Homo-oligomer: A and B are copies of this chain.
Amino acid sequence: MIKVGVVGYGTIGKRIADAVALQDDMRVVGVVKMTPDYEAKIAAARGFPVYTAADRVEKFKKAGIEVAGTVEDLVKASDVVVDASPEDVGRENKEKYYRQLDKRYIFQGGEEADVAEVSFNALANYDEARGKRYIRVVSCNTTGITRVLSALLLNGIGIRKARIFIARRGADPKEHKKGPINDVVPNPTAVPSHHGPDVQTVLKDVDIVTMAVAVPVTIMHMHMAYIELDGPRSRDEVLEAFAKTPRIFLADVGSGFQSLAQFIEYARDLGRPRGDFPEVAVFRDSVTVRGDELYLMYGVHQESIVVPENVDAIRAALGVLPKWQSIEKTDKSLKLFTEGKRYA
Contacts and interface: CB of A to CB of B under 8 A. Distances in A.
A209 B260 contact: no
Contacts of A288: 190-192
Contact of A184 (B191, B192, B259, B296): B259
Contacts of A285: 186, 189-190
Contacts of A253: 189
Interface string A254-276: 00001111000000000000000
A163 B227 CA distance: 11
Interface stretch (A68-76, A122-130, A212-220): A212-220
Contact of A189 (B183, B186, B286): B286
A165 interface: yes
Given A183-B260, A184-B299, 10 more contacts: A163-B226, A182-B217, A184-B217, A184-B222, A185-B258, A186-B259, A189-B253, A189-B285, A189-B297, A190-B285
A184 B260 contact: yes
A324 interface: no
A332 interface: no
B224 A182 contact: no
A242 interface: no
B190 A259 contact: no
Contacts of A295: 191-192, 209, 211
A56 to B, nearest CB: 34
Residue among A165, A211, A253, A259 with most chain B CB within 10 A: A165
Contacts of A99: none
Interface of A: 163, 165, 167, 180, 182-186, 189-192, 209, 211, 213, 215-220, 222, 224, 226, 253, 258-261, 283, 285-286, 288, 290, 293, 295-297, 299
A164 to B, nearest CB: 9
Nearest to A226: B163
24 contacts: A180-B261, A182-B217, A182-B218, A183-B259, A184-B220, A184-B222, A185-B258, A185-B259, A186-B283, A186-B286, A189-B253, A189-B258, A189-B285, A189-B286, A191-B288, A191-B296, A192-B295, A209-B226, A209-B293, A211-B226, A211-B295, A213-B222, A215-B217, A226-B226
A332 to B, nearest CB: 30
Residue among A213, A260, A293, A299 with most chain B CB within 10 A: A213
A266 to B, nearest CB: 14
A122 to B, nearest CB: 26
A189 B253 CA distance: 8
Contacts of A192: 288, 295
Contacts of A220: 184
Nearest to A220: B184
A224 B224 CA distance: 10
B215 A165 contact: no
